[in-house]
Amino acid sequence: MDALNQQESMKNFVWKFMALTLLAGTVLSEEADQVDASDPTKIYSYAGPGYKFTEYSNGDSLSEIRAIGNIGFTDNDMLSFEIGYGRYSGTVANDEKKDGITNGRARYFHLFNMDYSVAMGYRGWATQIDLQFEGDVKGTTGGNTLALGVLPAFGGGPIWSFFLPVNYVSTWGSKFDRHQGHGISVAPLAVLAPVNGPWPGFFLQIWPSYTRYFAGDLDGEGGANLDMTIGWSITPTTVAIATFQQNFDKNLKLFNPSSGSSGANDWSLFASVSWYF
């Protein structure tokens, strides 16, 4: 399948996914208790599949089926994971893999005192240890990053919440063979979760992130991304989420189109369904 057909298939999948989940959402009772998937500090257990499409600045692309999950093992602690299997569409050298395991993530999260009844002002904070590791397929190799950070939470009124994650990041090269540098990541998150949204459990997340390295081989390097996420409840314990991510360079500029065999990660679209238990 060529790149154009692959993009069209991706778009058709996403539109069908959104249409079906919207249809399911409209027939749910407004009185049913919904999982609050809008708040990243709430402790839950869930699992589910997703589809992700990534386009690179040289026109190549990556299509993945991803598994996501989260285990809340105490009232204040949870472990999350994410891993994918995908196929790269574009130029692949002899020493690169076209399909196989893609990059993954493992994260430990601890919640300190949090007062969710606070409508306006400081609610509390949490901390995390977040490992993002490389895959085997082209476009997902070459980088492993460990982040240690804090996440203060704030109420912004009846329907708005704000979070300010700040992380120390440390990055290694392929197979953790060489430490590449230290840096800081700041990722303010705004969440809109109206009581009477268009669908049960509806929320919108606006989540920019900026990382800058200050030591090591990556000193002075960095990058940014903007995530736009919508989510809603198909059933009270089944949540559909769609996230669009646009990536930027360290100067907050879009990546220029390139004609080389390798391109920067330009943008991606990820759609998933999770079952909470």
52: domain CATH number? 2.40.160.40
Q: pLDDT at position 263, please?
A: 79
Task: Provide the number of structural domains found in the chain.
Answer: 1
**Below-70 pLDDT ranges, the chain:** 1-33, 259-261
Q: Are 262 and 255 in contact (CB under 8 A)?
A: no
In tens, the pLDDT along 184-199 reads 999 999 999 998 899 9
- Alpha carbons 180 and 218: distance in angstroms, whole number: 6
Q: pLDDT at position 19, please?
A: 53
Q: Which residue from 12, 98, 19, 52 is spatially nearest to 227, judged by alpha carbons?
A: 52
Q: pLDDT at position 17, please?
A: 52
Q: Are 53 and 63 in contact (CB under 8 A)?
A: yes
Q: pLDDT at position 272, please?
A: 98
Q: Which residue from 216, 205, 128, 206 is spatially nearest to 167, judged by alpha carbons?
A: 128
Range of the domain at 258: 3-276
